[in-house]
Amino acid sequence: MLGPTKVYRAQYQEPYCLRGMFGLSDTRNVAHGSDSETSAEREIKFFFPDFSFYKWHTSDELTFRKGPIIFNHHMFQHVRKL
């Protein structure tokens, strides 16, 4: 979906990926995606210090696998559509 990290490579190899269609340069590449699980964990901890990997894997992730989700504006969170 994001395509290769390098925008010019994305434009050549996967022109219909997000970076291929909308990226301008390697520093203005439309979106961020971590390049490994280790990087993702470090970056998530930096931007979302209260996020619990344990809670996500033991509770939340299982819920989202069970079916479509919607955003509940009153609760201000995503919930499984019943």
Q: Which residues are catalytic?
A: 32
Amino acid at 27: T
Q: How far is CA 28 from the centre of its chain?
A: 17
Q: Round to whole Å and give the CA distance between 81 and 33.
A: 27
How far apart are the C-alpha atoms of 23 and 33, rounded to whole Å?
A: 13
